[in-house]
Amino acid sequence: MTDSPREDSASPRELVVRAGRWTLRGAAVGIAVSLALLVVTSPKGATDTAFALGALVLGFGVFAWATAVGLGETLRGVKQYVDVGSAWTEAGAREAFFVLSWTGAGWAFAAAVTSIALGV
């Protein structure tokens, strides 16, 4: 079980494990960003900014994932029509935005928990 974008037939259990793994990585980033921002701003400003950045990553990931799912066939057809020699695949795009979405969710959640821990 790896984080390879080529695993298009992952079982639900594998997806939950991978989502958890990326959420924990995002949480680590959220805590690190919150604490790093304490150097330049107040605790409230640091955690609010870290939360906003995490929510931005989550939002972009969900939007792009939905686009890859909804327009995957169209994008594949355009790629073939234009004859672009890229390695883009619908499965690879879904995996990339799966990673961004869960990382952003963990990041935003951890920034909120850090805010509570700092008493903001």
- Mean pLDDT for back-to-back runs of 10 residues, the chain (120 residues): 54 92 96 96 95 96 88 77 74 88 96 94
* pLDDT at res. 43: 94
- Confirm whether pTM is higher than 0.85: no
Task: Round to whole Å and give the CA distance between 58 and 85.
Answer: 30
> What are the residue boundaries of the structural domains of the chain, listed by start?
43-120
* pLDDT at res. 26: 96
* pLDDT at res. 93: 82
Q: What does residue 6 show for φ and ψ, rounded to 5 degrees?
A: -85, -10
Question: Residue 109: which of 46, 18, 27, 37 has the closest Cα?
Answer: 27
* pLDDT at res. 8: 57
